[in-house]
Amino acid sequence: MTTVVMKFGGTSVATPEKIIEVAKRAIAEKEKGNRVVIVVSAMGKTTDTLLELAAEISPEPPKREMDMLLATGEQVTISLLAMAFRSLGEKALSFTGWQAGIETEAVPRNARIEQIHTERLEQALSEGFCCVVAGFQGVDATGNITTLGRGSSDTTAVALAAALGAAKCEIFTDVDGVYTADPRYIQGARKLQQISYDEMLELANLGAGVLHPRAVEFAKNNQTPLWVRPSFSDAPGTVIQEMITVEKNLIVRGVACEKGIARVSVRYEKPFNGSLARIFTALAEEGIDVDIIVQSISQETPPSVSFSIKEDQAMQVYRVLDQQQAEIGFTARDVEKGLAKVSIVGSGMISNPGVAAKMFDILRMEDIPVHMVSTSEIKVSVVVPEGKMTDAANALHAGFGLI
């Protein structure tokens, strides 16, 4: 029998009525002759409520205890969904992340999946059960509950699909597919029929919230067919795969934007003497993601290095830098907040020179200042004032013919 993994996000399971509809959809898939695994998120805004509760207790709660707290949200959903299956006459069993055999590294709040022991799921599937698995969570080698980072139920689903050799993994959400840009910000954003793993990975990393980046990475590494589909309609959605066969003429296939970016600048009076490595090693050890890095060295001005981070990590970055100032050797540091990142993505950039020049010209004509730039083979990102983010994204979306 073919195995299918279906993932439903928080809005898709926000109420008992929606949970029952999810069960019906999964039962319909089983009636086609498939073995079915359903991965779910916490109901609605449950995770936000738990975060607010923690903040009332402590301004900076221990990460281990946050994992213990946040993992409870998905447990509520899996038990209710398993009950819904039973009420509809279908056999189902619920599994927490650790019961499903998901083993992670020992990194609270942002663990990566290391391996999945599928024996319990395989046994349940062989006995005709629908398996309902809690997304977003696992267990480390010492038995501590871990969570995988916000939005990572997608990752759970794709990782399980790979481990079980599933024929496909479907991500059901409140949008009907992957768009050329976020329709909330961009006029004329339209749904794509197909997009490549590499393009989707870039868009996900750059702020497109429809899929978690690690989910796309798992799908690409294991060549797992991945669909993004609406939760409560039969629309085909968007397929993510290695090669695309439609709309191949588009040089740029998507525009992504992300608010809440900050630029940290670290200044010196003398050359770095290896302290650049010390900066980014220290930040990595604290689990702080650094994006764009710009180094400035000249004979006329003191050396400096600037890098972009998420704005809510600024205080943590300051603390790490200050604790290691003697080893790093810097003389001053400052942060600029109120920024945003806007990016264009498309595999067609590889064979079409001049894309970056066109991007900068579009932004110049819109009088949008560029603070930082980062490029790869298939993307160009710029950091701009947050108040200009929507203008920049709309101009680029139109300028590259995505309307």
pLDDT score for 191: 93
**Using alpha carbons only, what angle is made at residue 322 by residues 318 and 328, rounded to the nearest 5 degrees?**
110
Tell me, what's the pLDDT at 273?
63
pTM comes to 0.84
Structural contact between residues 202 and 379, judged by C-beta atoms closer than 8 angstroms: yes
pLDDT in tens, the chain (403 residues): 899 999 999 999 999 999 999 999 999 999 999 999 999 999 999 999 999 999 999 998 999 999 999 999 999 999 999 999 999 999 999 999 999 999 999 999 999 999 999 999 999 999 999 999 999 999 999 999 999 998 899 999 999 999 999 999 999 998 889 999 998 889 899 999 999 999 999 999 887 888 989 999 999 999 998 999 999 888 889 999 988 776 667 889 999 999 999 999 999 887 666 678 889 999 998 889 899 999 887 666 778 899 999 999 999 999 999 998 988 888 899 999 999 999 999 988 988 889 999 999 999 999 999 999 999 999 999 999 999 999 999 999 999 999 8
| Res 198: pLDDT | 94
Q: Which residues contact 219 (CB under 8 A, 6 or more apart)?
A: 158, 161, 162, 169, 197, 225, 226, 240
Find where tokens 């009907």 sit. Answer: 176
CA separation for the pair 51, 209 (Å, rounded): 20
Q: What is the pLDDT of residue 94?
A: 98
Structure confidence at residue 307 (pLDDT): 96
Domain residue spans of the chain: 3-174, 255-399
DSSP 3-state assignment of 212? Answer: coil
Sign of CA dihedral 45, 49, 50, 52: positive
DSSP letter for 11, please: G
255-399 belongs to CATH 3.30.2130.10: yes
State the architecture of 3-174 in CATH terms.
3-Layer(aba) Sandwich (3.40)
**What does 381-400 look like in DSSP terms, one character per residue?**
EEEEEGGGHHHHHHHHHHHT
Bridge partners (DSSP) listed for residue 134:
40
| CB 364, CB 357: distance < 8 Å | no
Residue 272, pLDDT score = 61
Alpha-helical runs (H) found in 116-263: 119-126, 153-164, 197-205, 213-222
CB crowding 252-284: b at 16 or more within 10 Å, else e: bbbbbbbebbbbbbbbbeeebeebeebbeebbe
